């Protein structure tokens, strides 16, 4: 029996991807010029010029489709912009190119095996651009007539649509009536209905109706009444990820699972079927593969099994570009006794392009703080800006950025529109940075409940140095 593989419609995008990342909301790109040279302060990006340029070069290769199945690693101390640059890359790619972000430890917390979680992440990062012919109904609404049943639960109706050449009456069911109501379609609108998905789009108001302005808003767009046939065939192009195709076609799940975000495990046989179907579509010229990007943050948290999976998956014909980030220097590879640079096994390291990020200069820190203040709509006094920059150099940039909003709460409480040194001093005393927290824990020895091994093991991981 030949299975049919559907790809859903463009509407069924994977919504679990649309995560808001507050701490990086000011990042709008890599801030490079046409020659890929980093601008001093652009698109929310400051400094870290070499890493940004390297990221830009890699993106270029991705866009030319030349770098699937490769991997790169951002290595550097905490708070040096590794995650920020990766997200800047995501913004630069078109909306058509999938970009998936995971944090390595997520892989262990999902209700599925590690390798299944990674497989899903890989398949989310491969786009399939599909060209399909659909049948649409397009014309000007002449009349819409709706009859409700006594209870109002079911509706039936008739829709009269015309073009300059013809006029047709269609019977409407409840679903279609709701779709028309949602778009607020009235007589005189020029609309288009996708026959397969039932999606209604309003193209504008017909010129012929430009006089009855009771149904118009300020932004009403006028269009000509369409010519020719009411039913037409039209080519549409939409991009879905392999993972979306998997989920839509997995019988136990159905595409509602995409909205729940909880997709469970997908059978390997189904994936094989989908792969060969996609290969068939490619041969027929119906589909194109768009290798995207998979970003794995804090990659040293993966264990040896995950790393061997990565190694194998990168060999696959359908592999995305994998970008990793780590703040570890020499670290133990999880699941083994061995230590290795960045906590990655050497055979994986071997195929990775490594880009390092450096601690920021004082002026760069000041500029980043200013950008964040603008983003969060906070005014800092000149003195407060100096104090916060100093704090950032002594603790971490991330800690300092976190203080902005808490300090503002304090400033508001004393009815000031501006955050001053005093507000910072108070938040600094409320919230500890890592160094102070470690100090405090040491002082509390014997009073807190400790996990067995908190005392520094002789071969504990080394986080890269800040200074
Ligand atoms: N070059 C930069 N330009 C603008 N903001 C940055 C830059 N580097 C880091 N940031 C911001 O500083 C904070 C810490 O950076 P982050 O990317 O999380 O560091 P890392 O991932 O290296 O630990 C984030 O809020 C980030 O958006
Ligand atoms: Mg990070």
Reduced 3-state DSSP string for the chain: CCCCCCCCCCCCCCHHHCCCCHHHCCCCCCCECCCCCECCEECCEECCHHHHHHHHHHHHHHHCCCCCCCEEEEECCCCCCHHHHHHHHHHHCCCCCCEEEEECCHHHHCCCCHHHHHHHHHHHCEEEEEEEEEEEEEEEEEEEEEEECCCCCCEEEEEEEECCCCEEEEEECHHHHHHHHHCCCCCCEEEEEECCCCCEEEEEEEHHHCCCHHHCCCCCCEECCCCCCCEEEEEEEEEEEHHHHHHHHCCCCCCHHHHHCCCCCCCHHHHHHHHHHHHHHHHCCCEEEEECEEEEECHHHCEHHHHHHHHHHHHCCCCCEEEEEECECEEECECCCCEEECCCCHHHHCCEEEEECCCCCHHHHHHHHHHHHHHHCCEECHHHHHHHHHHHHHCCHHHHHHHHHHHHHHHHHCCCCEECHHHHHHHHHHCCCHHHHHHHHHHCCCCCCCCCCCCCCCCCCCECCCC
Give the fold, CATH level 3, of 362-443: Helicase, Ruva Protein; domain 3 (1.10.8)
On the question of pLDDT at 62 being above 90, the answer is no
| The predicted structure's pLDDT at residue 11 | 45
Closest-lying ligand to the alpha carbon of 364?
1
Range of lowest pLDDT (3-12, 51-60, 234-243, 252-261): 252-261
- For residue 78, the ligand 1 atom closest to its alpha carbon is 23
Residue 371 banded pLDDT, cuts 50, 70, 90: very high
- CATH 3.40.50.300 maps onto the chain at 41-125+239-356
On the question of pLDDT at 20 being above 50, the answer is no
User: What whole-number distance in Å separates Cα of residue 144 and Cα of residue 156?
Assistant: 11
Average pLDDT, the chain: 85
User: What whole-number distance in Å separates Cα of residue 243 and Cα of residue 232?
Assistant: 31
On the question of pLDDT at 453 being above 70, the answer is no
Q: Between residues 9 and 302, which one has the greater pLDDT?
A: 302
Q: How far is CA 339 from CA 332, 346, 350, 455, in A?
A: 4, 10, 15, 19
| The predicted structure's pLDDT at residue 448 | 67
- CATH 1.10.8.60 maps onto the chain at 362-443
Closest-lying ligand to the alpha carbon of 39?
1
The residue whose CB lies within 8 Å of the most ligand 1 atoms, and thus the one to mutate among 25, 39, 83, 84, is 84
| The predicted structure's pLDDT at residue 1 | 40
Q: How far is CA 387 from CA 12, 290, 382, 383, 419, in A?
A: 48, 47, 9, 6, 11
On the question of pLDDT at 124 being above 90, the answer is yes
Domain 131-229 has CATH 3.10.20.70: no
Task: Report CA(296)–ligand 1 centroid distance (Å).
Answer: 16
Beta bridge partners of 102: 296
Q: What is the pLDDT of residues 395-415, one digit of tens each?
A: 999 999 999 989 999 999 999
What are phi and psi for residue 242, nearest 5 degrees? -60, -35
Residue 280 banded pLDDT, cuts 50, 70, 90: very high
Range of lowest pLDDT (91-100, 189-198, 256-265, 277-286): 256-265
CATH code of the domain made up of 41-125+239-356 = 3.40.50.300
On the question of pLDDT at 359 being above 90, the answer is yes
Task: Report CA(215)–ligand 1 centroid distance (Å).
Answer: 49
Mean per-residue pLDDT, 6-23: 53
Q: What residues does ligand 1 touch, defined as CB less than 6 Å away?
A: 23-24, 27, 44-48, 76, 78-84, 325, 327, 368, 397-398, 401
| The predicted structure's pLDDT at residue 217 | 64
User: What whole-number distance in Å separates Cα of residue 151 and Cα of residue 160?
Assistant: 26
| The predicted structure's pLDDT at residue 16 | 44
On the question of pLDDT at 423 being above 80, the answer is yes
Residue 18 banded pLDDT, cuts 50, 70, 90: very low
Q: Whose CA is nearest to atom 1 of ligand 1?
A: 46
């Amino acid at each position: 029996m030949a299975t049919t593989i559907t790809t859903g419609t463009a509407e069924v995008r994977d919504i679990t991807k649309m995560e808001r990342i507050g701490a990086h909301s000011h990042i709008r790109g890599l801030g490079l010029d046409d020659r890929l040279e980093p601008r001093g302060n652009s698109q929310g990006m400051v400094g870290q010029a070499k890493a940004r340029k390297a990221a830009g070069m890699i993106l270029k290769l991705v866009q030319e489709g030349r770098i699937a199945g490769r991997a790169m690693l951002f290595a550097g101390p905490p708070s040096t912009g590794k995650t920020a640059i990766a997200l800047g890359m995501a913004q630069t790619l078109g909306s058509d190119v999938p970009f998936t972000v995971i944090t390595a430890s997520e892989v262990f917390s999902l209700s599925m095996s590690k390798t299944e979680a990674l497989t899903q992440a890989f398949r989310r990062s491969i786009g399939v651009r599909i060209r399909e012919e659909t049948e649409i109904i397009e014309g000007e609404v002449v009349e819409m007539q709706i009859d409700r049943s006594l209870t109002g639960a079911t509706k039936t109706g008739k829709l009269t649509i015309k073009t300059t050449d013809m006029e047709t009456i269609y019977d409407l069911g409840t679903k279609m009536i709701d779709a028309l109501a949602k778009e607020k379609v009235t007589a005189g609108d020029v609309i288009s209905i996708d026959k397969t998905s039932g999606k209604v789009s309003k193209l504008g108001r017909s010129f012929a109706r430009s006089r009855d302005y009771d149904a118009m808003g300020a932004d009403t767009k006028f269009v000509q009444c369409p010519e020719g046939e009411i039913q037409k065939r039209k080519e549409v192009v939409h991009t879905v990820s392999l993972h979306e195709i998997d989920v839509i076609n997995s019988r136990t799940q159905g595409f509602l699972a995409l909205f729940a975000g909880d997709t469970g495990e997908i059978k390997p046989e189904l994936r094989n079927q989908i792969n060969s179907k996609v290969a068939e579509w490619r041969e027929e010229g119906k589909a194109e593969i768009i290798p995207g990007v998979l970003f794995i943050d804090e990659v040293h948290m993966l264990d040896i099994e995950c790393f061997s999976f990565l190694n194998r998956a990168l060999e696959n014909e359908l592999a995305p570009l994998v970008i990793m980030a780590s703040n570890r220097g020499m670290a133990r590879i999880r699941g083994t006794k061995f230590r290795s640079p960045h906590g990655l096994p050497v055979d994986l390291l071997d195929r990775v392009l490594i880009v390092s990020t450096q601690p920021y200069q004082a002026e760069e820190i000041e500029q980043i703080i200013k950008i964040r203040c603008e983003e969060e709509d906070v005014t800092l006094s000149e003195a407060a800006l100096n104090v916060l920059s100093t704090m950032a150099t002594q603790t971490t940039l991330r800690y300092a950025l976190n203080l902005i909003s808490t300090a503002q709460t304090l400033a508001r409480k004393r009815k000031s529109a501006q955050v001053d040194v005093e507000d910072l001093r108070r938040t600094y005393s409320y919230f500890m940075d890592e160094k102070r927290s470690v100090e405090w824990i040491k002082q509390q020895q014997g009073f807190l409940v400790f996990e067995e091994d908190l005392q520094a093991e002789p071969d504990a991981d080394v986080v890269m140095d800040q200074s």
